Structure 1
């Protein structure tokens, strides 16, 4: 399982939307299987879970 974590600066909604669009348009067969958004004080957190499919010969 691959995992990617990062801290970004920008407008939360714009950053999340850009990431979702870039991942969806990456050409890699991935499917969004779960998502959640949390706010703790002034901190916003977005969690996305994707499945990536492989076909091996």
Structure 2
């Protein structure tokens, strides 16, 4: 498992769209599995689940992304899972880290 947390400033919809496109365009096997967007008062929250095949690990990995925003103040949390072929502990996390790197690069460009 790998995790990324960042505080950002920007337009919630635009940042969400940019990150979504970066993840889906980052790998030809990446897919959007499901998600939701909801509002509570002046706080917005988007939860997204993505999956892709990891060629280096030879397996599928998942990425869950949560973007929360109040005005232009945003908080992003992304967690990857899967990618290991061992039964009791993780032997490799290459696929998870590579999936998260795609998101990290997109954030760094914002």
Structure number having the greater helix percentage: 2
Fold agreement, TM-score > 0.5: yes
Q: For residue 40 of structure 2, what is the aligned residue in structure 1? A: 40
TM-score by length of 2: 0.42
Equivalences, count: 56
Structure number having the greater strand percentage: 2
Is there any run of 5+ residues in structure 1 with no aligned partner, and where?
none
Instruction: String of CA shifts for 1:3-29, please: whole Å, max 9, x gaps.
Output: 545443211110111001111111263
**How much is the aligned-residue C-alpha RMSD, in angstroms?**
2.1
TM-score by length of 1: 0.72
Q: For residue 14 of structure 1, what is the aligned residue in structure 2? A: 14
5 and 33 in structure 1: CA distance in 2 versus 1, 3 angstrom threshold: farther
Say whether 1:31 aligns with 2:31. yes
Is there any run of 5+ residues in structure 2 with no aligned partner, and where?
59-110
Task: Kindly indicate whether structure 1 or structure 2 has the higher relative contact order, using CA contacts under 8 Å at least 6 residues apart.
Answer: 2
Moved runs in structure 1, 4+ residues, more than 6 A? none
Choose 1 or 2 for highest CA Rg.
Answer: 2
